[in-house]
Amino acid sequence: MKILVCLSVVPDTTTKITFVEGDTKFNTAGVTWIMNPYDEMALTRALELTEQYTGTVTTITVGLLETEAVIRKALAVGASDAVRVDAAPLDAMQVANEIAAYARIEKYDLIFTGRESIDYNGGLVAGLIGELLEIPSVNVVTKIEIQGTTATLERDIDGGREVLESSIPLVLSAQKEFSEPRIPNMRGIMAARSKPLKVIGAVATNTTSFVQYEMPVAKQGVKMISAENAGEIIGLLHHEAKVI
């Protein structure tokens, strides 16, 4: 079984977000990069499937040189090899075009993405890859089992669970519960150094440009009111917060 896992490298969740160049660009100075958490789950499940059925797990990342430390972590966790498309990722369509172009040549049985990247939260890449490759795509999957050329998938729906069957090849996006992320051990870290990390040029041209980012309005400070002063609370809710 040949599985491709799409790895998005995102800022650590504690990152202080600021913008530069007239608020048109995210300021990457001092940012710690991590593997998108949903992609970690996708990677683990891919490894479990190849352990069960044999096969290979390749990761693909659209990103510049600074993403390689995170890609090496995926190799340390157990991926067989990795591909980096040497381009700054700018939007979901560009990322999907790059991944689809590679997958079209290499032909995978399964393509896994995360449910969303935790930076731009588009939730689009899986569906776009499916469309570009003309294969089924299923979003927010919590479980996958394979029988021959059929995949049985589970998804949470409002108040219940949906079970689907799809032929493979297919692309899916992983939701929480898909698997538990694995922590690389020392042996894996050493092995990762000699695993192939192929860097390829971009094929697609990007069509989006970002005009401006705005920070959300800063939250006001907390006002402490003594327990005896119920009248003041009512006054503030009425005149200041205007909720009563």
Ligand X SMILES: Cc1cc2nc3c(=O)[nH]c(=O)nc-3n(C[C@H](O)[C@H](O)[C@H](O)COP(=O)(O)OP(=O)(O)OC[C@H]3O[C@@H](n4cnc5c(N)ncnc54)[C@H](O)[C@@H]3O)c2cc1C
Q: Which of 45, 46, 110, 114 binds ligand X (CB under 6 A)?
A: 114
The tokens describing 237, both together, are 């809710």
Query: Does 63 sit near ligand X (CB under 6 A)?
Result: yes
Three-class DSSP category at 93 = helix
CA distance 2 to 55: 6
Question: Which stretch, 36-44, 138-146, 149-157, 184-192, contacts ligand X (CB under 6 A)?
Answer: 36-44
Q: Which of 12, 13, 17, 28 binds ligand X (CB under 6 A)?
A: 28
Closer CB to ligand X, residue 97 or residue 166? Answer: 97
Residues in CB range of 162: below 8 A, 6 or more apart:
154, 155, 156
User: C-beta of 181: minimal distance to ligand X in Å?
Assistant: 13
Query: Does 8 sit near ligand X (CB under 6 A)?
Result: yes
Closer CB to ligand X, residue 92 or residue 144? Answer: 92
The C-alpha angle with vertex 103 and arms to 205 and 189, in degrees rounded to 5, equals: 100
* Count of chain residues binding ligand X (CB under 6 A): 29
Report how far apart the first and last C-alpha atoms of the chain are (Å, whole number): 61
Query: Does 90 sit near ligand X (CB under 6 A)?
Result: yes
| Type and span of the H or E element at 170 | strand 170-174
The tokens describing 17, both together, are 């977000």
Closer CB to ligand X, residue 63 or residue 130? Answer: 63
Three-class DSSP category at 177 = coil
Question: Which stretch, 6-14, 75-83, 181-189, 222-230, contacts ligand X (CB under 6 A)?
Answer: 6-14
Closer CB to ligand X, residue 71 or residue 151? Answer: 71
Strand order in the sheet with 197-200: 160-167, 150-157, 137-147, 170-174, 110-114, 2-6, 56-62, 81-85, 197-200
Query: Does 89 sit near ligand X (CB under 6 A)?
Result: yes
Q: Which of 15, 23, 68, 123 binds ligand X (CB under 6 A)?
A: 123
Query: Does 139 sit near ligand X (CB under 6 A)?
Result: no
Query: Does 19 sit near ligand X (CB under 6 A)?
Result: no
CA distance 1 to 142: 20
Contacts with ligand X by CB under 6 A lie at: 6-8, 26, 28, 36, 38-39, 60-63, 89-92, 95, 113-114, 116-117, 119-125, 210
